[in-house]
Structure 1
Amino acid sequence: MTDLAPVAFSPWEMFLNAGLVVRCVMSVLVVASVLTWTILIAKSVELLRVRAGLGRAEQALELAGTLDLGEEGTRASSIAHTLVVAAQTERRRSADIPEDSEGQKERIVLHLERLEAAEGRRLMRGTGLLATIGATSPFVGLFGTVWGIMTSFTGIAASKATSLAVVAPGIAEALLATALGLVAAIPAVVIYNHLARQTASCRAQVADLSALVMRLVSRDLGRMQAQIASGQVVRLGAARDPRLATGE
């Protein structure tokens, strides 16, 4: 009596029995899957640290009365410290035109906007690979499947065999490439969307920090304008009354 028990095929055995092209396709998909999970771990740790630093910097700026006092509290976050230093640098460069407070604010806002954009690009770095993996992995796996099935049917034609048992192993090995393509693509898409949401949250925190920096800048400029106005009142009074100018 013929033994009709099914032949057991493990994924590893199918990989070893597949053709060279199909094995290369499978290897590429496995590497892509490993990269996907590596990026998830690395970016998750990075974003957690960034969000923690931004939270501490935001609290420090909320409590600071002036921009100079806020500098020390923002050292926990590199981008927050960069924003504060950029605002201070522009104020020093505009020290010779203290009456141009609106111009100072405009220049500081432009600089902070560019720093925000640069930080957003830095936070998204590495996630573009996830988008590429999610978009191309199914097609790479499909290519391996088509190539494997084509090779199987070519073997049938060469051996002139008509039994399905001859072609079944080759088709199974080829379909494994499609399965690996989906295994690589689906997590990549989900992880990309997750990291995009986390990055958007960090960018919103950076925007909040920029608003806090501009509030401190406006406050400092308001104090400076009040001091200038007080000095002008004294000079005007001295000009109207010569005795004030001579101290009599």
Structure 2
Amino acid sequence: MWDLFWGAEPIIKLVMFGLIVASVWSWTIIFNKVYSLQRLNKAADSFEKAFWSGGALDDLFDRIHNRMLDPLSAIFCAAMREWRRSIAKGMTRTTEIRGTVEQRIDRVMQVTLNREIQQLERHMGFLASLGSNAVIIGLFGTVLGIMNSFGNIVGQQSASLAVVAPSMAEALFATAIGLIAAIPAAIAYNKLSSDVNRYENRLDAFASEFGAIISRQLEEAV
């Protein structure tokens, strides 16, 4: 394989090198995303255990607001900050204002959720692009290799295997590298997208549940 790489034409060599670099970067993204999702789910489990333990939510907020470890904690702290501001301004005394406060808290949680998910989805587009385009790029190198093979045939006035084989091998090697880059990226993108969507649903469910809790607290405060 090393000889095939160094024996290729410069433009084909550039194509193969680009695919190799893209493949290495895709694996870096894959390992990073897998680790991040595992860490975030573990942190979410820990937070939910504390949240549903029956303790005072104000105490939980005071304990974690300076060291939020995951998006679930961030959503909770954003809502609690808005809740405390509303109480400090006396905005929970009337039914009319209570509805506005609920909307503001829901909006704050949704904005925080969207920001956290955008952060988690960073570089996912690269995996999608590599999965769908790496083979095409590899085929580009293959076409160049075939053209080079025809050039050798014309130059040496021979279509023997010794003349054709080297260029054809270089051409097929470019396609092989494209497949090696594309297949893991495509599989990882589908799997990670599913995991991110599942995690997003978990955040959305928590935001809805916490919003209902705050709504009950506001009703009791009126």
What's the TM-score, normalizing by structure 1? 0.80
The CA deviation at 1:209 is 2.4
Q: Does 1:41 align with 2:38?
A: no
Tell me the alpha carbon deviations over residues 172-215 of structure 1, each in whole angstroms, 9 at most, x when there is no partner: 11111011111110110001111111111211221132133223
Runs of 4+ in structure 1 off by over 4 angstroms are 73-76
* SS state at 1:107 partner: helix
Residue 123 of structure 1: which of 100, 120, 123 is its match? 120
Tell me the alpha carbon deviations over residues 95-125 of structure 1, each in whole angstroms, 9 at most, x when there is no partner: 3322122221111111211211111111111
The CA deviation at 1:127 is 1.3
Residue 198 of structure 1: which of 195, 198, 222 is its match? 195
* SS state at 1:63 partner: coil
Output the CA distance in 1 between the equivalents of 2:68 and 2:39: 10
Output the CA distance in 2 between the equivalents of 1:52 and 1:25: 41
Residue 51 of structure 2: which of 43, 61, 68 is its match? 61
Residue type at the aligned position of 2:42: A
Tell me the alpha carbon deviations over residues 127-175 of structure 1, each in whole angstroms, 9 at most, x when there is no partner: 1111111111011100001001101211221222232321111111111
The CA deviation at 1:33 is 1.5
Contact 1:65 1:216 in 2 (8 A): no
Residues 76/89 of structure 1: CA separation in 2 closer, same or farther (3 Å cut): closer
Tell me the alpha carbon deviations over residues 6-38 of structure 1, each in whole angstroms, 9 at most, x when there is no partner: xxxxx1111121111111111111112211221
Residue 90 of structure 2: which of 67, 73, 96 is its match? 96
Contact 1:57 1:73 in 2 (8 A): no
Long gaps (5+) in structure 1: 1-10, 226-248
The CA deviation at 1:65 is 5.2
- 1:189 matched residue in structure 2: 186
Output the CA distance in 2 between the equivalents of 1:116 and 1:64: 24
Equivalent pairs counted in the alignment come to 215
Output the CA distance in 1 between the equivalents of 2:56 and 2:208: 14
Output the CA distance in 2 between the equivalents of 1:215 and 1:123: 26
Residue 13 of structure 1: which of 3, 6, 13 is its match? 3
Residue type at the aligned position of 2:217: D
Q: Which has the larger radius of gyration?
A: 1
Long gaps (5+) in structure 2: none
Residue type at the aligned position of 2:91: I
What's the TM-score, normalizing by structure 2? 0.88
Matches within 5 A, 1:143-154: 143-154=140-151
- 2:129 matched residue in structure 1: 132
Output the CA distance in 2 between the equivalents of 1:218 and 1:70: 19
The CA deviation at 1:76 is 5.7
- 1:86 matched residue in structure 2: 78
Contact 2:68 2:74 in 1 (8 A): no
Output the CA distance in 2 between the equivalents of 1:102 and 1:17: 72
Identity %: 35
